[in-house]
Amino acid sequence: MQPYPVAVKHAGLAFISGVRPGTLASRPHSFEDLPQTGQARRQGFVLADAVEGEVTADSWAAHCALDAVLAAAGTRDNQILRQHVWQRDKRFFPCYEKTRAVFQPQPSPSSGLGVSAVAGGEKDWIGLDAIAVVPGDHPARPERAVMSAVYDPRLPSASHYSQAVSSGDLVFTAGHIPIKTAEPGKPLVQSFDDVPPEGRLLATGRSHPDSRDGPIAAQTWFVYEELRKLLAANSLGLEDVVLSTVYLADLRDFSVFHRVHRHMFPGDGPALAVSGFDEVGHRGCRIEIELTAARGGASSRRVVAWPVPSPFAAPAAVGIDAFVFYSGVVGQAADGRLVRSAGDLSGHARTVVERLERVEARRGFAAQTWASFERLRDVAGSAGSDLSQLLKLTLYLRDPRDLQTFEAVRRSFIADADLPALECVAVHGPGPVVEAEVQIEAIGMG
């Protein structure tokens, strides 16, 4: 998306903007357009191959485009620390996985989510973004080290991705889901009965409330516990986590998730971003969680408080070394309420937003976007930084048509010359509550 950079580099890392299949000069459209290595799922029948051919071609084009961006940034696929895979229909994930295995025999940690549309290419099947090491660029960022690989017997991956990797003091995990991958049949955690007693902290013993709260409570505890074990196996703990990014299948589960999150992080926990996706993990998964951690993070972190009433039990940002990891920011007014319209703003802000409300696709989007940037600006200032020092923005919204409205607001806060990398994700739940029309997640310079 112009004029955003395809990648931004800082302190040995490259932050990659959203990559789409359509950015490839000669885009493939079917199995016939791919080399033999890309035709593993081809059956040779026109109708049987139609949709799978499209998805595979899009996957191939997206990875070709990603490799080109990585090369331009001075890095390559085996240095990716985290990759997101946005999928218009997760039913066809096996097509994507076959393609990824060709491009990335040593895959990075990743989270694969089902989205409403691939923003910037609404008819595309696949969108990607990434963070990667730039070898030799910074003494504190050595080449990627795999901490827990695809076939780690302690915690086998659910698909073709590494469980965790590191570069220097920074550690990136894959998105983890409530599947017991080490057990026969890889069963799904579905209730309090599927976790040990210590995981039943919210259980009442009564079937009605436990049937409602049990699935998300048990799945949240199980995923955090699996991540805790993964960190412990690499001499880290939950106290070293600087950012928890959470994907929910149903935003109505946020409050129960939050209770378990507070139990797992009773003190100054990590920055937190929560959003609602169209499909999370396997069928039946209600949650997926990915963590960013730092060795020694418990002693060296810089915790930034919220300038408004805290929206959830997490700091507004956590600084570590050369980076600041921001919690997801939604359109809160100074008193903590979500703004609804230009009437909740004042002065210049009200004038601008009143004009944008005539063209916004979702009512309240412009006002909440303005308030989100105000909150992000305040948090950045408290962190000793500012919006011109942002490295990566991830924008969550419902309707990709509102990208133009977002851009009109953004220009009041960030000049074109200072733009970070950008990813835009179209989902049914941009923020942790259904009233949120937009959420901004950010990483900035420390």
Look-up of token digits 């009512």: 363
What's the distance, CA 292 to chain centroid? 11
List Cα–Cα distances, 13 to 86, 272, 391, 397, 418, in angstroms.
Answer: 22, 21, 10, 26, 17
pLDDT in tens, 204-257: 999 999 999 999 999 999 999 999 999 999 999 999 999 999 999 999 999 999
Classified as helix, coil or strand, 280 is strand
Cite the beta strand spans of 104-144 per DSSP E: 110-114, 126-133
Q: What is the mean pLDDT of the chain?
A: 95
Closest CA to 62 of 94, 40, 42, 84: 84
Q: What does the radius of gyration of the chain's CA atoms come to, in whole angstroms?
A: 21
Distance from C-alpha of 274 to C-alpha of 3, rounded to nearest angstrom = 28
The answer to whether the beta carbons of residues 120 and 183 sit under 8 Å apart is no
Asked if 113 and 86 count as a contact pair (C-beta separation under 8 A), the reply is yes
pLDDT value, residue 199 = 97
* Distance separating alpha carbons of residues 368 and 177, to the nearest angstrom: 31
- State the Cα–Cα distance between residues 43 and 49, nearest whole angstrom: 6
> Among all chains, which residue has been given the structure tokens 């990335």?
104
Q: Which residues pair with 84 in a beta bridge?
A: 111, 129
Name the stretches of the chain with pLDDT < 70.
1-2
Do residues 305 and 142 make contact, with C-beta atoms less than 8 angstroms apart?
Answer: no
Q: How far from 306 is each of 73, 257, 315, 335, 408, CA to CA, in Å? A: 34, 21, 6, 11, 26
Q: How many residues does the chain have?
A: 446
Residue 10, CB half-sphere, CA atoms under 13 Å: how many?
Answer: 17
Q: Which residues of 193-229 are buried (b: 16+ CB within 10 A; e: fewer)?
A: ebbeeebbebbeeeeeebeebbbbbbbbbbbbbbbbe
Residue 374: closest CA among 402, 399, 353, 355: 353
Give the torsion through C-alpha atoms of 309, 305, 227, 246, to 10 deg.
Answer: 40
Half-sphere exposure of 124 (CA within 13 A, CB side): 30
pLDDT confidence of residue 38: 97
Going along the chain from its start, the domains and CATH numbers come out as: 1-143 (3.30.1330.40), 149-300 (3.30.1330.40), 316-446 (3.30.1330.40)
Which residues have a Cβ under 8 Å from the Cβ of 207 and sit 6 or more positions away? none
CA–CA distance, 189 with 319 (Å, rounded to integer) = 34
Q: Residue 2: its pLDDT value, please?
A: 66
Angle ∠(147,153,154) on CA atoms, nearest 5 = 70
- The whole-angstrom separation of Cα 439 and Cα 443 is 14
Per-residue pLDDT reduced to its tens digit, 334-388 = 999 999 999 999 999 999 999 999 999 999 999 999 999 999 999 999 999 999 9
Give the SS3 label for residue 130. strand
Count other Cβ atoms within 10 Å, centred on residue 190.
15
pTM of the model: 0.96
